[in-house]
Structure 1
Amino acid sequence: MSKSRVIPSIEQLLQRDGVQALLQTYGRTATVKALREAAEKLRTQLEGPGSPDEVKVEVLEAAERLESEAGTSLTRIFMSSLQPVINATGVIIHTNLGRAPLADSAVSAIAAIAPHFTNLEYDFKNGGRGHRDTHVEYWLRELTGAEAVVVVNNNAAATLLLLSALASGREVIVSRGELVEIGGGFRVPDVLAQSGAQLREIGTTNRTRADDYAAAINDRTGLLLRVHPSNFRIEGFAERPSLESLVAVGQRFGVPVVEDLGSGCLISHDELPAEPTVRSSIEAGVDVICFSGDKLLGGPQAGVIVGRDQMLQRVRTHPLMRAVRADKLTYAALNATLQEYALGRASITVPVIRMIKAQEDEIERRARTAAAAVNTSTIKVQIIDGVSTIGGGSAPGSELSTRLLAMTSLTIQPKHLAAALRRLTPPIIGRIERGQVVLDLRTVLPEQDEMLAKALGSLTA
């Protein structure tokens, strides 16, 4: 007799109380599919190689097993693959971990808007169509000093849109030292080509002067492009014209100056002295600036374009605009984040800014609390000196002194201990440094401290 005959039929399984509960939760189609897959797996095991004792399964045991496996499978399938993690890497703007966590006010703004119809593009005054940038225009103008604003879905889109609207079919002059590549293979020359603009390289990798820009200008010049080196730094025998001198060249020849500022720093930070602010570029006379919303600004993913109204009108009406525009949730979160800056409390309420300004003694206190939760004798813990980084292609070379929780297992290798941390709930993402797994509490949200301690307490490595 075939050993697989112990497997109950799907109809028999559907009568079980546990399976009825699965039906209520996941519906008939998904539940039946999971039961069939579990039954096929068991059938393969029963009919496969092995002695009768190894594969002996009773009918009741088979039913319980199939119910359990189907339940596990359904839980896994319906659980969102996108889940919260504890970022203990010490990288504040971690692209792989979703960049900037949002301020509470931004989260509340999203929750208030998401379930409803909104006035995203509706003008209450005239009862007709409005434009969506009005929802952030006031605060961006106040905080940057710009005349006008356009928001799209990320800064790469902003760069492409700007070049397409302002320089398609014309030359764009760029220093060779600014032909950068950022994460994911995003290269400035490729974006220029995609926009229809033609690249005109000037200077050398390490030295470019204002006169180089002036010498390259001709009747086909569309704009002068300045790219902030947000993920690298050239030091030593290097020269780069000041923004003011570049603007002077543009004004002398009547050529607009566009700056891809990247990081989007709205306020000066003592911790990041080399990072320019958007307002400083506007005050220097730059015509149009674009930057990210989810880097040093600390808001949602967005590409923010600010500058002269006449030029942004061309950007706003370009056909590509509709393909890259931001949605209502982005505007809600961005507006709330900008208000935190306007109220002067971003250093407390915006997580990215709070992490940048966190003090070592507070980080150490939190690290010691977390270390005390590790209750297995096979893991040695200590608090050591270390550095945090900004990340996200922002503030290259900037390091912030910190205190690290360092863990060494007496039984497994560091890579296996790091993997064990990633399997916890919630997953803890740290880094391996000098043969130790280290956790930097600078990038752990304070409200996650209790979860971190509980998760560390469950370690058995």
Structure 2
Amino acid sequence: MSADPRRHVPRTDTLLADGQIVPAVERLGRDLVKDAVRSVQARIRSGELPPADSVAAVLAGLPATAASLRPVLNATGVLVHTNLGRAPLSAAAVEAVVAAAGTTDVELDLATGRRGLRGEAALAALRAAVPAAEAAVVVNNCAAALALVATALGQGRELVIARGELVEIGDGFRIPELLESTGARLREVGTTNRVTVDDYVRAVGPDTGAVLKVHPSNFVVRGFTREVPVAELAAGLAGTGVPLVADVGSGLPAPDPALPVEPDLQTTLADGADLVLASGDKLLGGPQAGLVLGRAELVQRLRRHPLYRALRVDKTTLAALEATLRGPLPPVRRMLAADVAGLRARADALAGRLAAAGVDAVAVDSAARVGGGGAPEHPLPSACVSLPEEFAERLRGGSPPVVAYVDAGRTLLDLRSLLPEDDDTLATAVLGAAAR
């Protein structure tokens, strides 16, 4: 009986009270650490682990944080990767989130001691970034922004929209279903491939709540096609009193030479849109948010609508958004602006470093993408490190995980979706994968 390993399994309370484990209990919580303890106890009972190694095994089995999400290196070449959380926050935004995590003045005017406008500084930063906007409001994503606009302007009324813009985006989400769920009635104009300004104008009447223009961000229609630019549509609606609402999707604040065909917030408003909608976590480079900018009277109607209360964002989102707008260039914007020669130099250096360590690595040219529905057919010249195919799975299982892509039997690490300061970590991850 003395050889029975169960006689030597440390007690749960003994392990939880161990001086090396107590700090982990304080940092991660008792329940999470207890799960790790039970896992170690099971390994000791099975004879897999000697009892003397129990404390070290518990510590090794603990996660870095109490949350299950893990940092990942995005080597896919997709700058705004929805499955990887879209835009990574800048260091300034992360610091702002930490500062806002406690008690803050999110709705308090410290000078007067009275209630203040929620997130006033973040809204001011938005207006500064998009000078054509008279006012702004922020909700929890772009779909929420569209739902709020459709409810406040179109509930029980008609929303005029081109047939070719009744789109489906990711995960089966369909714009017309969202709009109809608000109680608005859709008035479709034009055909699948062509629409004219006269189509819109003829559809406008006393029951029209708004004219809605949706940028078909995740696909391109080619051939015998026509859409109506915002400037032309705004001129056609002049004098009708019907608001023109444009959903541009990706949140590009102003024109960018790297994306000549992507609509931006500033130009869309300057061209005559009354409201413009976009995401905060795509090309703007900030946290998940739905941005609505435009005419002050319309923005105020949205803010005073009861639905806004259910859709508004929290203090940490406001803090991250403000820091993104006021702080240094966020990661996505840096990736977009990356110099191709610099990317190639990084790929050459990384491949040489890995090859010197015995890894079959070579630098190759590639084409990255914006992702997140932005500029779907606009390639971004880039550079990759090419590895044997089996590295893709090994890298995903590493720490930190690295997500690459496989093409023609090779694993490719695209460096445009990574910052230069990530290269050392990436090299270490590849060498670790090679050793497994």
Give the whole-Å Cα distance in 2 for the aligned partners of 1:76 and 1:105.
25
**Structure 1 residues 29 and 203, CA gap change in structure 2 (3 angstroms):** closer
Whether the 8 Å contact between 1:7 and 1:62 is mirrored in structure 2 is no
Corresponding residue for 1:360? 340
**Structure 1 residues 118 and 77, CA gap change in structure 2 (3 angstroms):** closer
Confirm or deny that 1:270 pairs with 2:237.
Answer: no
**Structure 1 residues 318 and 35, CA gap change in structure 2 (3 angstroms):** same
SS for the counterpart of 1:226 is strand
Unaligned runs of 5+ in 2: none
Whether the 8 Å contact between 2:197 and 2:232 is mirrored in structure 1 is yes
In terms of fraction of residues, the more helix-rich structure is 1
Corresponding residue for 1:343? none
Which of 428, 433, 445 is the aligned partner of 2:402?
Answer: 428
Confirm or deny that 1:102 pairs with 2:82.
Answer: no
Whether the 8 Å contact between 2:355 and 2:361 is mirrored in structure 1 is no
Q: Which amino acid in 2 is paired with 1:63?
A: P
Confirm or deny that 1:151 pairs with 2:138.
Answer: yes
Confirm or deny that 1:140 pairs with 2:114.
Answer: no
Query: Deviations for 1:199-246, whole angstroms, at most 9, x for unmatched residues?
Result: 111111110111111222232211100001111111211001121221
Larger radius of gyration: 1
Q: How does 1:430-445 map to 2 (within 5 A)?
A: 430-445=404-419
Whether the 8 Å contact between 1:8 and 1:63 is mirrored in structure 2 is no
Corresponding residue for 1:460? 435
Give the whole-Å Cα distance in 2 for the aligned partners of 1:359 and 1:29.
48
Give the whole-Å Cα distance in 2 for the aligned partners of 1:354 and 1:207.
37
Corresponding residue for 2:107? 121
Corresponding residue for 2:160? 173
Which of 207, 218, 224 is the aligned partner of 2:194?
Answer: 207
Structure 1 residue ranges (4+ consecutive) displaced by more than 6 angstroms after TM superposition: none
Residue 25 of structure 1 deviates from its aligned partner by: 3.1
Confirm or deny that 1:26 pairs with 2:32.
Answer: no
Corresponding residue for 1:283? 270
Query: Deviations for 1:162-193, whole angstroms, at most 9, x for unmatched residues?
Result: 11111111111111110111112221111111
Give the whole-Å Cα distance in 2 for the aligned partners of 1:339 and 1:268.
18
Give the whole-Å Cα distance in 2 for the aligned partners of 1:77 and 1:93.
25
Residue 257 of structure 1 deviates from its aligned partner by: 0.7
SS for the counterpart of 1:149 is strand
SS for the counterpart of 1:273 is coil
Corresponding residue for 2:325? 338
SS for the counterpart of 2:360 is strand
SS for the counterpart of 1:265 is coil
Corresponding residue for 1:238? 225
Whether the 8 Å contact between 1:373 and 1:456 is mirrored in structure 2 is no
Corresponding residue for 2:69? 82
Give the whole-Å Cα distance in 2 for the aligned partners of 1:32 and 1:8.
20
**Structure 1 residues 200 and 17, CA gap change in structure 2 (3 angstroms):** closer
Residue 124 of structure 1 deviates from its aligned partner by: 3.4
**Structure 1 residues 417 and 171, CA gap change in structure 2 (3 angstroms):** same
Query: Deviations for 1:401-455, whole angstroms, at most 9, x for unmatched residues?
Result: 11211112xxxxx2x3201011222211111112111111111122211111222
Whether the 8 Å contact between 2:352 and 2:362 is mirrored in structure 1 is no
Unaligned runs of 5+ in 1: 46-56, 341-345, 409-413
RMSD: 2.8
Which of 184, 190, 212 is the aligned partner of 2:177?
Answer: 190
Give the whole-Å Cα distance in 2 for the aligned partners of 1:269 and 1:17.
55
Give the whole-Å Cα distance in 1 for the aligned partners of 2:356 and 2:7.
44
Give the whole-Å Cα distance in 2 for the aligned partners of 1:138 and 1:308.
14
Residue 138 of structure 1 deviates from its aligned partner by: 2.6
Residue 127 of structure 1 deviates from its aligned partner by: 2.6
Whether the 8 Å contact between 1:223 and 1:256 is mirrored in structure 2 is yes
Residue 302 of structure 1 deviates from its aligned partner by: 1.2
Q: Which amino acid in 1 is paired with 2:431?
A: G
SS for the counterpart of 1:442 is coil
Give the whole-Å Cα distance in 2 for the aligned partners of 1:183 and 1:291.
16
Give the whole-Å Cα distance in 2 for the aligned partners of 1:141 and 1:29.
45
Residue 155 of structure 1 deviates from its aligned partner by: 1.0
**Structure 1 residues 158 and 12, CA gap change in structure 2 (3 angstroms):** closer
Whether the 8 Å contact between 1:375 and 1:457 is mirrored in structure 2 is no
Whether the 8 Å contact between 1:373 and 1:457 is mirrored in structure 2 is no
Confirm or deny that 1:91 pairs with 2:78.
Answer: yes
Whether the 8 Å contact between 1:430 and 1:437 is mirrored in structure 2 is yes
Worse-superposed segment, 373-382 or 181-190:
373-382
**Structure 1 residues 37 and 263, CA gap change in structure 2 (3 angstroms):** closer
Confirm or deny that 1:63 pairs with 2:51.
Answer: yes
Residue 72 of structure 1 deviates from its aligned partner by: 4.8
Aligned length: 431
| Aligned residues with identical type, % of pairs | 40
**Structure 1 residues 456 and 18, CA gap change in structure 2 (3 angstroms):** farther
Q: Which amino acid in 1 is paired with 2:135?
A: A
**Structure 1 residues 353 and 90, CA gap change in structure 2 (3 angstroms):** same
Whether the 8 Å contact between 1:133 and 1:150 is mirrored in structure 2 is no
Q: Which amino acid in 1 is paired with 2:340?
A: E
Which of 357, 370, 393 is the aligned partner of 1:419?
Answer: 393
Give the whole-Å Cα distance in 2 for the aligned partners of 1:11 and 1:359.
57
Residue 275 of structure 1 deviates from its aligned partner by: 1.2
Which of 196, 206, 217 is the aligned partner of 2:204?
Answer: 217
**Structure 1 residues 428 and 229, CA gap change in structure 2 (3 angstroms):** same
Corresponding residue for 2:421? 447
Residue 94 of structure 1 deviates from its aligned partner by: 1.0
Residue 277 of structure 1 deviates from its aligned partner by: 1.8
Corresponding residue for 1:7? 6
Q: Which amino acid in 1 is paired with 2:422?
A: Q
Whether the 8 Å contact between 1:153 and 1:302 is mirrored in structure 2 is yes
Whether the 8 Å contact between 2:243 and 2:274 is mirrored in structure 1 is yes
Residue 156 of structure 1 deviates from its aligned partner by: 1.1
